[in-house]
Amino acid sequence: MHVYQINAMTGKGSVKHQRSLVGCDIELGIDSLTSTGDGLGRVNDRVVFVPYTMPGDQVRVRVVQDKRTFMTAKLLEITNSSADRIEPECRYFTECGGCDWQHIPYAMQLDVKHRQLRESLQRIGGLTDPNLAPIIPSANSFGYRNRIQGILRDGAFHYMRKSSNKPIAVTECKLADQRINRRLAQGFEGNLNGKVELAVAGDSALVSPLNEKHATELGFRQVNSQIGEVLTMLIQQTLENDRYEHINDLYCGRGDWANSMATLNPAAAVSGVDSLAENIAHARQQASQLGLSNVRYVLARVEEAIAQITLKNSFSIVDPPRAGLDPEVCKALCRKPARTLVYVSCHAATLARDLKILTAGGYQIEQVQPLDMFPQTSHLESLVRLSAPVRK
């Protein structure tokens, strides 16, 4: 098969976009990493996305998708490795779709994520000086996940292969807590099949079926307990700086933050909103057990319930899914601005998009604090503290 040679520095070579290159082999150099975890090289005026590569790699790849401005390719061979490349710890790496960057040193992962977040805030958000703090690393770059999700089939636990609906059986996950790995190694008997979650519970791991919303009766929890605790501490420190009559936790999940804030601020009226009935039920039960009378929970989508929430001059938290804030939520937050708004995000692009709207609506960014909730992947958590002038 003919191999097309591409100059890694200039991006120029013999490939011309006159016919589809799907199925063709190409040799090229990788010069950067994308926010989706792929390595990026160039062919003429088009970029080529190659999973499991890194800057400095010279690679031979097979084109699997050929579009007008980009191509995606499968890695066939690393003809010359980057000097920074390390040996992955997991035997399933490149087969399982759970990790992106086990071949990249952890310090370099942090540098790349920090740079990518800054670039998103500047390019998408139009924020020339976003006041971006140094990234807070995870104390453990492996063994940090307190829960994992997959499929039980024929007594074995399966992840999904990268960019595929094909399962791969695993008996160990390097990202998972050792209690989960002990459970994986035991295998699974009985009639439980289908999508499940394995979650740390005391000295062992609990197996729970997933519902149609990919949730269990345990509800949403941060997968990295240590970084989750840091995130909670940062929110509490921000709240301690002033007194508020109204405190809102939008996308409140199981109510952990809302109930904690209600406990620490008994004179404030606290509201939590979430669209999952099991989350609201747990939040209300926990509030009752704590004897809290200053917190209420609304079962609804945030964009539907926001008219019922006192936003003006409040302390409000938004922790939306990867899609970011609904336009109606952004409009409400700008129309009746919170005195302090904390935006927790797991997706830099949608965060930057929403910050552009919020800052145009009168908010000022006090600080953007990235936290590495997900080592060995391209994902990044961020906490943004915003303020708006007090309105009468």
Integer Cα distance of 75 and 113 in angstroms: 23
C-alpha torsion 246→249→250→251, nearest 10: -170
Query: Residues near 22 by Cβ (< 8 Å), separated by ≥ 6?
Result: 63, 64, 65, 66
**Three-class secondary structure assignment of 26-76:** EEEECCEECCCCCEEEEECCEEEEECCCCCCCEEEEEEEEECCCEEEEEEE
Q: Give CA separation, 123 vs 117, 120, 270, 367, 382, in Å.
A: 10, 5, 36, 18, 17
Amino acid symbol at 31: D
Q: At what angle do helices 225-239 and 256-264 cross, to 10 degrees?
A: 40
346 labelled catalytic:
yes
Question: 23: how many CB neighbours lie within 10 A of its CB?
Answer: 10
Specify the DSSP class assigned to residue 219. Answer: -
Given the residues 24, 252, 330, 346, select the one marked as catalytic.
346
Question: Phi, psi (5° rounding) for residue 160?
Answer: -100, 140
Residue 4: beta bridge partners? 26
Tell me the catalytic residues.
Answer: 346
